[in-house]
Structure 1
Amino acid sequence: MLSRSRRDRARAAINERGSVTAEFALALPAVALVLVCCLSGVQLAGLQIRLQDAAAGSARSLARDESSGTVAATASALVASARLSSHQRDGLVCATVSAPARNALLGLLPITLSATSCALAGGQ
């Protein structure tokens, strides 16, 4: 014959059966959301690096007096949907390249990243 405390523990164990499955079902969406946020952050960081490279190359090309159409095409080849704008100041040619982040957080947030770089005018 089981003692009273052992019977109570046995009943409690039977009543808690399936609780791990329920806790896992509740935690799984949170883990998936964290994973999506991490992967989106990595994607945004990669896009920012490509934009910075495109801006630096565009600034150097514009400083060598290449046509703005050619430079914009090169920037678009490096980063899809890139937009190029440029200006001159204090003997420098500055290029700003911007592009929308397409799949950031599953496309829920309209994020546009940009990068600016300057080069000495005249290609010197």
Structure 2
Amino acid sequence: MRSPSERGAITAEFAVALPGVMLVLLLVVSLGLHGAAQVTLETGARAAARELARGEDPASAEAAARRIAGEEVSFQLSHDQGYVTVALVRPVRVLGWVEVAMTQDAQATARVEDLP
């Protein structure tokens, strides 16, 4: 049986632990969103490299990358001995809202097709 001095102890312990639990939960969600954003960035780089490999113009490739990876990406293109490389860079956002001083980047290379 509980003594009157212990009444409400569990509630107080829960109130102390709740902010820590919420912080860990937000961290896990943020890491999941960061991983998903990295996947879309890599997919956008691959799509742009495929466009360029097929002989499309750079504006079309950039539009494909931005459509998939988002409008805030920066797009860089380089050619080297029959290969084209697309590099995308985007700022990191915590939970999709707060921008931090980090970037995500992705790079894709494809061989340019020689059509007869």
TM-score (norm 1): 0.79
One-letter amino acid matched to 2:93: R
One-letter amino acid matched to 1:40: S
Partner of 1:4: none
Partner of 1:91: 82
Partner of 1:122: 113
- For 1:106 and 1:67, how far apart are their aligned partners in 2? 33
- For 2:96 and 2:27, how far apart are their aligned partners in 1? 6
Q: Which consecutive aligned stretches of 4+ in structure 1 deviate over 4 angstroms post-superposition? A: none
Partner of 1:40: 30
Partner of 2:102: 111
Structure 1 counterpart of 2:21, from 4, 10, 31 = 31
TM-score (norm 2): 0.84
Say if 2:9 is the partner of 1:19: yes
Identity of aligned residues (%): 30
- For 1:43 and 1:122, how far apart are their aligned partners in 2? 35
* CA deviation after TM superposition for structure 1 residue 77, in Å: 1.0
Query: Higher helix share goes to which structure?
Result: 1
- For 2:63 and 2:114, how far apart are their aligned partners in 1? 20
Q: Radius of gyration: which is bigger? A: 1
Change (3 A) 1:106 1:83: closer
Structure 1 unaligned segments of length 5 or more: list them. 1-8
- For 1:31 and 1:110, how far apart are their aligned partners in 2? 26
One-letter amino acid matched to 1:57: A
* CA deviation after TM superposition for structure 1 residue 106, in Å: 5.3
Change (3 A) 1:93 1:43: same
| Kept in 2: contact 1:100–1:110 (CA 8 A) | yes
What RMSD over aligned residues (CA atoms) do the two structures have, in Å? 2.2
Query: Higher strand share goes to which structure?
Result: 2
